[in-house]
Amino acid sequence: MEANASFEFQSLLKPIKTGRQDPTKDHGELGDPLSPMGRLFHRPGSSIYIMGFLGSKTAIDPRHFKAGVASAFLAYPRFTTKMRWVKTEVDIDQHVFFPKIEPKDTSNVGVDKFVEEYTRDLTGIPLDMSKPLWDVHVLNLDKMTTQGAMAVALFRFHHCIGDGMSLMSLFMSFTRKASDPTAKPSLPVFSRKKQQMDPESKRGRCLSFLGVLWNTLVDIFYLLATAFFLDDTPNPLKGPKDARQNIKFVKNITKTTLNDVVMGVVEAGVSRYLNRRYDEINGNKTKNNIGNLPQKLRFRATIYFNIRAVQGIQAVENMINKDSLARWGNQVGYVIYPFKIMLRDNNPLDYVYRAQTMMNRKKASMESYFSYHIGRFLLNAFGFKVVNSFHVASLPVKPTMWFSNMMGPQEEISIFGYPVAYLGCSCFGQTVALMIHVMSYAENLNFILSTDDDVISNSHELCNDLEQSLEVIKVAAIAKKNSEESKD
């Protein structure tokens, strides 16, 4: 569990003109306009980029890697077009870079710190708007990182190219199993939890529909209130290899889902961090560093959901099909998730149980679909300037943090023949001071933090709090298991 970088936020791209467009009109040299969601990711104060991290177990050969990137990326239009999707010639040498690294560069600060600082500096350099909006920076290192990488590839994409699901599908298409270089990696299987009620029961279906309807109405009201006036309480956040196995263990003991455990760990880690920060703000007046949290602290997260009709990672060939139910692009909506910031030292598993209750409620609501379609409707109906004044139709700024997770390859993979040591992804350019991404790779689970250094100068401490919270929750799960076994 680590902070791959502390990202500095700023408006990186010039604003573009948007408005109602006739989809049947030939735009000629101007190219096709951005999609409604693509425009939301490219506006003043919130030009958002996706950054992917890939650690290779071996050094990467520049010519071989560039040839692989060219064959993998240039077959798809959004990687060969400029803003407004204007077709252009692509010079791969202007998109894939191998900076020269001297031994003294890594020996002075350490190889891990060097990679982190390079990543942070890279977030302050905007992509060239005269070229397709992506690039790759490959760092061939003289020493191995703590995660076993001799080279690190940093992929930058403007979010208007596509969302995480689109890019992950593309990534999976040109990788191969590390154990079998000729076989594509297995796609993660998405399965919905079966409903407990009798599917033939008319009464049960009616109650389920009414529950979804009620939850949706409440969530829409909450969403609108957040857009217009409901802000979070000002707070210090506003402005390990076995992690996956530990989370699976807690999931099995508590009979919840992986997402429930992850959200419980995040709530516990944030509570631990805020408790310590409030103690520092108050002059370390409390004993044992407890009881520092305000009584009424509104702290919410914006959680992003894939709203495609077909869930899970799909083959990229299916996503680029116009008739696909899992089309390429930015098919994401969001929900407002309220945290209960408090210390639960007596029973840490309550973090997980509360997360399960909240996530089940959010799943039984159409809030994410509403947030997506209201933005799409208002953009098409009134244009960008009107939408920019209504945060419900754009990206939320009042919640304290953003959260997203991504299921990666289930087994170890290679890219263009290079074995992959680790994977991760994050965003930068957003208007909130904290974003947490959770991404799995084989048996590993990484928490990647994107932070504003002016607000959160000690992001490594927050990472430590997340790691410690997972350990505390795991210990509580072990105690619960032992207690249940002793009763038997």
| Residue 159 annotated to the active site | yes
Residue 457 and residue 435: Cα distance in Å, rounded? 14
Q: Which residues contact 115 (CB under 8 A, 6 or more apart)?
A: 139, 141, 145, 152
At 419 the three-state DSSP class reads strand
| Closest by Cα among 479, 439, 412 to 179 | 412
Asked whether the beta carbons of 393 and 223 are under 8 A apart, the reply is no
Residue with token string 């994401």 = 332
At 108 the three-state DSSP class reads helix
Question: Which of 42, 95, 159, 391 is the catalytic position?
Answer: 159
- For 209, the token pair is 């529909």
Report the amino acid identity of residue 22: D
At 365 the three-state DSSP class reads coil
Q: Which residues contact 345 (CB under 8 A, 6 or more apart)?
A: 290
Q: Over the Cα atoms of the chain, what is R_g? A: 23
- For 292, the token pair is 């520092």
Residue 119 and residue 51: Cα distance in Å, rounded? 9
Helix axes 258-281, 243-254, angle to 10 degrees: 110
Active site residues: 159
